């Protein structure tokens, strides 16, 4: 079989189509908020993906602290900085591991809306979470109901 993502050629590297934000934020303490996001934008950017650091800083309200060393950020601010990568260089596939960890209630709601908007725009977010994010585009696989000892059915 064959999988097509956003009309990309079959030999397109998966990194050009996908973002991964893991449980570790990938934030360098000695760099400023802006420098961290600029690094990731430069690293992830392709000709097709653009890269707008200022817009991404604004997504989670990081603009006022853009020039502060990331080492001074709270856990929630570091998480927002990690998630801002999703917006600095757009990708159709988001792989998110516990994205709501350390976020306040308002930021979790904003994240839920961002995931839903991403889905409405034709993207997909595959999320592992203990916090129900809900939304119109949500399909849940509850791993508590899966028996790892059972043989899979073909």
Q: What is the pTM of this model?
A: 0.83
pLDDT of 4 = 67
Provide the residue-wise pLDDT of the chain in tens; the chain has 154 residues.
Answer: 566 676 777 777 777 889 999 999 999 999 999 999 999 988 887 665 567 899 999 998 999 999 999 999 999 999 999 999 999 988 999 999 999 999 999 999 999 999 999 999 999 999 998 888 776 667 777 777 767 677 766 6
Does residue 28 contact residue 39 with C-beta atoms inside 8 Å? yes
Nearest 5°: CA angle at 84, between 114 and 120? 25
**Domains of the chain in sequence order:** 14-131 (3.40.50.300)
Q: How far apart are the first and last CA of the chain?
A: 17
Return the pLDDT at 111.
Answer: 93
């Amino acid at each position: 079989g064959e999988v097509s993502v956003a009309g990309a050629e079959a030999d397109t590297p998966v990194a050009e189509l996908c973002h991964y934000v893991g449980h570790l934020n990938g934030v360098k303490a000695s760099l400023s908020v802006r420098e961290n996001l600029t690094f990731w934008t430069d690293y992830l950017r392709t000709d097709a993906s653009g890269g707008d650091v200022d817009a991404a800083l604004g997504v989670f309200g990081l603009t006022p602290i853009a020039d502060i060393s990331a080492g001074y950020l709270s856990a929630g601010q570091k998480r927002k900085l990690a998630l801002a990568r999703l917006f600095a260089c757009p990708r159709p596939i988001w792989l998110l591991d516990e994205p709501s960890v350390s976020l306040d209630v308002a930021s979790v709601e904003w994240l839920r809306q961002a995931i839903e908007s991403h889905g409405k725009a034709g993207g997909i977010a595959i999320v592992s979470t203990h916090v129900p994010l809900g939304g119109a585009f949500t399909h849940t696989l509850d791993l508590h109901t899966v028996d790892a000892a059972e043989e899979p059915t073909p």
